[in-house]
């Protein structure tokens, strides 16, 4: 595995792959790798011969009161995981490599429609930061395919819309959420949970699954989507979560849906102690 820090090094390293016609996959990460990331790497090798993993904690997607400075960073452990995974290149740029004129003068990418709602409402500017850094990574790496986790479902739709609208020659592939045995979605921010909070955290996914089953039940009284959302928020608050949103949306548009749609997505964001947890699940018509 090569470890490179600059765009010039990166492009020199991949020039031979392109000349040979090898397909290249990119998995953008913020480091602190876990089994969820490993699943992304395995997915990447289903679509490409070469794998580039970027590790960059992107300051543009963090708000002023968020956890940029204390976001967990584990570079040595990450390198060992990537060596074992068969990664070809670990790309670890410094902030001034990604934003050479500083954040204040950096070109930004906006994706209207998907970016202002849900997480975009509670984290203003977050998806502008995500789209801006991913667009830079796509330009630096020029991959054939890029892999993103389904856990960050809204982010996945933002990136897909950006790639479509800007005619980017990169295939965007979603990878299923990886969960602990008790159902908690794996996330770097799970390290913020205390022992007691970690025992409560799986209730988030339990509530998602309960609502997913209820949506298409034969019991007509249970099909009021707003009532299902309200009940879920109440249940989660009773467990100690501070719920930002729990909502049922169209899986394709994130708009308020009707029951006639064949696939819905249920999304949640809630705080538990120091941790902000997000998760989602699909509900598909039988």
pLDDT in tens, 125-143: 999 999 999 999 999 999 9
Average pLDDT over residues 78-85: 93
What angle (nearest 5°) sits at the alpha carbon of residue 160, between those of residues 155 and 162? Answer: 95
Sign of CA dihedral 108, 114, 117, 120: negative
Name the packing angle between helices 35-44 and 75-85 (round to 10°).
40
Known catalytic residues are: 37
Among candidate residues 59, 61, 78, the one with its CA nearest the CA of residue 69? 59
Is the domain of 270 the same as that of 238? Answer: yes
Place of tokens 């039940």: 217
Average pLDDT over residues 37-49: 97
pLDDT at 149 over 70: yes
Average pLDDT over residues 99-118: 96
1 three-class SS: coil
Is the domain of 167 the same as that of 211? Answer: no
Which CATH number characterizes residue 83's domain? 3.40.50.620
Q: Final residue of a domain: which of 175, 201, 220?
A: 175
Supply the range of the domain harboring residue 160. Answer: 2-175
Kindly list the distances between the CA atom of residue 161 and the CA atoms of 96, 125, 166, 170, in Å, as whole numbers in the listed order.
Answer: 27, 17, 8, 12
Residue 180 lies in a domain: no
pLDDT at 150 over 90: yes
pLDDT at 164 over 70: yes
Among candidate residues 155, 152, 142, 149, the one with its CA nearest the CA of residue 173? 149
Q: pLDDT over 90 for what percent of the chain?
A: 90
Is the domain of 196 the same as that of 111? Answer: no
Is the domain of 37 the same as that of 108? Answer: yes
284 three-class SS: strand
Residue 8 lies in a domain: yes
Residue 183 lies in a domain: no
Categorize the per-residue pLDDT at 286 as very low, low, confident or very high, splitting at 50, 70 and 90.
confident
Range with the poorest average pLDDT among 3-7, 12-16, 118-122, 124-128: 12-16
Residue 65 lies in a domain: yes
Task: Please give the pLDDT value at position 156.
Answer: 98
Is the domain of 192 the same as that of 280? Answer: yes
Task: Please give the pLDDT value at position 223.
Answer: 65
pLDDT digits 0-9 by tens, 204-252: 999 999 999 998 775 554 568 999 999 999 999 999 999 999 999 999 9
Task: Please give the pLDDT value at position 65.
Answer: 85
pLDDT at 260 over 80: no
Name the packing angle between helices 7-20 and 126-141 (round to 10°).
60
Mean per-residue pLDDT of the chain = 95
pLDDT at 35 over 80: yes
Q: Final residue of a domain: which of 147, 175, 203?
A: 175
Tokens of 111: 């994706």
Residue 136 lies in a domain: yes
| Number of domains making up the chain | 2
Is the domain of 46 the same as that of 118? Answer: yes
Task: Please give the pLDDT value at position 258.
Answer: 76
């Amino acid at each position: 595995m090569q470890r490179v820090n600059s765009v010039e090094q990166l492009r020199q390293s991949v020039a031979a792959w392109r000349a040979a016609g090898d397909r290249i996959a990119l998995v953008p990460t913020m480091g602190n790798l876990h089994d969820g990331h490993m699943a992304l790497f395995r997915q990447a090798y289903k679509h490409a011969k070469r794998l580039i993993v970027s590790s960059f904690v992107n300051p543009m997607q963090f708000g002023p009161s968020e956890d940029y400075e204390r976001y967990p960073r584990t570079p040595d452990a990450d390198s060992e995981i990537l060596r074992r995974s068969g990664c070809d290149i670990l790309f670890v740029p410094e902030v001034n490599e990604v934003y050479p004129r500083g954040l204040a003068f950096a070109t930004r990418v906006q994706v209207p429609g998907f970016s202002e709602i849900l997480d975009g409402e509670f984290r203003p500017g977050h998806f502008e930061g995500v789209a801006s850094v991913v667009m830079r990574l796509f330009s630096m790496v020029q991959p054939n395919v890029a892999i993103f986790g389904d856990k960050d479902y809204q982010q996945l739709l933002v990136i897909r819309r950006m790639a479509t609208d800007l005619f980017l020659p990169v295939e965007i592939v979603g990878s299923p959420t990886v969960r602990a045995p008790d159902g908690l979605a794996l996330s770097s921010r799970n390290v913020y949970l205390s022992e007691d909070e970690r025992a409560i955290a799986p209730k988030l996914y339990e509530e998602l699954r309960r609502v997913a089953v209820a949506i298409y039940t034969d019991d007509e009284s249970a099909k009021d989507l707003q009532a299902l959302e309200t009940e879920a928020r109440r249940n989660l608050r009773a467990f100690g979560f501070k719920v930002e949103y729990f909502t049922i949306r169209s899986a394709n548009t994130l708009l308020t849906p009707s029951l006639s749609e064949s696939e819905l997505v249920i999304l949640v964001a809630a705080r538990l102690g120091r941790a902000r947890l997000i998760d989602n699940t699909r509900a598909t018509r039988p």
